[in-house]
Amino acid sequence: MSTDAGLVASSPGVPVGTSTAARARAPLGGSTLAVLGVTPFFLFSLLFLIGPTLYLMLGAFQTPDGSLTLDNIAGLFTPSILSAYKISIEVSLASAALGAVFGFLIAYAIVQGGLPAWIRPTMTTFSGVASNFAGVPLAFAFIATVGRLGLVTVLLNELFGVNIYRYGFNLLSFWGLTITYLYFQIPLMVLILTPAIDGLKREWREAASMLGASRWQYWRMIALPVLAPSILGCFLLLFANAFGAIATAYALTGSSLNIVPILLYAQIRGDVLHNANLGYALALGMIIITGCSNALYIVLRARSERWLR
């Protein structure tokens, strides 16, 4: 984290960022004021964002009395914690992959499907709402829908005699959680991919078909390669999104589903791992996973922007 450098560089006064050219154009005076103007932001992010995060990351490599150790990291590789990471990663992968596929199909349908004009703004507006409709209320909605007494469960049973719970479906399980997460994952994908599909130029399709390409060839050799960084990047974003989520899962399953955020929640509440520093390691693992997928996302986004201008 280079923030310390930034802070140090910006605090002693004038020089930073005021090269001669910039100074010539900059409104006169007020450099001290400018430094004062940005100091609160850096101080705030140091105190309430970077500091606490670094504290945990360093704590993961320390014993309770402060000496360095790798025991906490090693402690992550116990069956119960590993299985928590495994389930978390599986749910995140499944909801991100399905979200990406369905989101792509919807985005394609509303942009290039030749549907009535009102469909697209309706869908994007709704996506804006649904991608923000997460947390505890979302869990309630799905309990009311496909819970044991939910409308869909009851209707399927009464109309078709199909009891989905007898077929092994359970809302408080891997698939239940995945289906619920999709409610905000798909709209997010739609919101991000719609502009990307807009960026597919008509000329490319025309040129392709003039050269004798079939629809399938156009998609496989032109459209998908152009869209691939967007889709992949968005997939990573959805992955990180699901991985850090806890409220929906907690309201849905209580603590019966062993995913990392819920384990960490229990650890913070009551030190269930009986080792505070192991909790830090748990947090470090989460940061590494979400950090990697976000970093990759940024790289891929830069790539996709090359084409879609």
Partner 1 sequence: MNRSRIAPTVIVTLAALYFLVPLVATLEFSMRMVRGTYSLKAYQVVFADPRFQATFSFSVIAALCTIVIGALLVVPTAYWIRLKFPRLRGLVEFITLLPLVVPPIVLVFGYLRIYNSSSWLPFTATIAGTNVLLVFGYAVLSLPYMYRAVDTGMGAIDIRTLTEAAESLGASRRTILMRVILPNVRAAILSGAFLTFAIVIGEFVLASLLNRPAFGPYLQLVGANRAYEPAALAMIAFAITWACMGFLQLFGSGVPGRRLGSTILRFGKRGR
Across the chain, how many H-helices and E-strands are there?
16, 0
Nearer to partner 1 by C-beta: 51 or 225? Answer: 51
Tell me how far apart the alpha carbons of residues 68 and 59 are, in angstroms, rounded to a whole number: 9
Q: Which is nearer to partner 1, 82 or 276 (CB)?
A: 276
The least CB distance from residue 209 to partner 1, in Å, is 13
Q: Which of 3, 88, 20, 9 is nearest to 290 (CA)?
A: 88
Cα angle 170, 174, 179; round to 5: 80
Quick one: 280 exposed, middle or buried, by C-beta within 10 A (0-12, 13-18, 19+)?
buried
Which residue lies nearer to partner 1 by CB, 28 or 211? 28
Shortest distance (Å) from residue 208 CB to partner 1: 16
Distance of CA 105 to the CA centre of its chain: 20
Nearer to partner 1, 74 or 136 (CB): 136
CA distance 94 to 176: 11
CA distances from 298 to 50, 230, 235, 237 (A): 20, 10, 12, 9
The tokens 């991919």 sit on which residue?
193
Handedness of CA 299, 300, 303, 307 (dihedral sign): negative
Give residue 31's Cα distance to chain centre: 38
Specify the residue, 26 or 76, whose C-beta has the smaller distance to partner 1: 26
Could you tell me the smallest distance in angstroms from the CB atom of residue 222 to partner 1? 18
- Name the minimum Å distance from CB 172 to partner 1: 13
- Judged by CB, which is closer to partner 1: 113, or 225? 113
| AA letter at 201 | K
Cα separations in angstroms, 99 against 33, 137, 153, 180, 215: 47, 20, 23, 11, 24
Between 226 and 243, CB nearer to partner 1: 243
Burial 48-86 (b: 16+ CB within 10 A, else e): eebeeeeebbebbbeeeeeeeeeebeebbeeeebeebbe
Of 53 and 170, CB closest to partner 1: 53
Q: How far is the CB of 248 from partner 1 (least distance, A)?
A: 7
What distance in Å separates the CA atoms of residue 252 and residue 286, rounded to the nearest whole number? Answer: 21
CA distance 249 to 187: 19
The least distance separating partner 1 from the CB of residue 193, rounded to whole angstroms, comes to: 10
Closest separation between CB of residue 265 and partner 1, Å? Answer: 6
The nearest distance, CB 294 to partner 1, in angstroms, is 5
Of 42 and 174, CB closest to partner 1? 42
Tell me the closest approach of the beta carbon of residue 226 to partner 1, in angstroms: 18
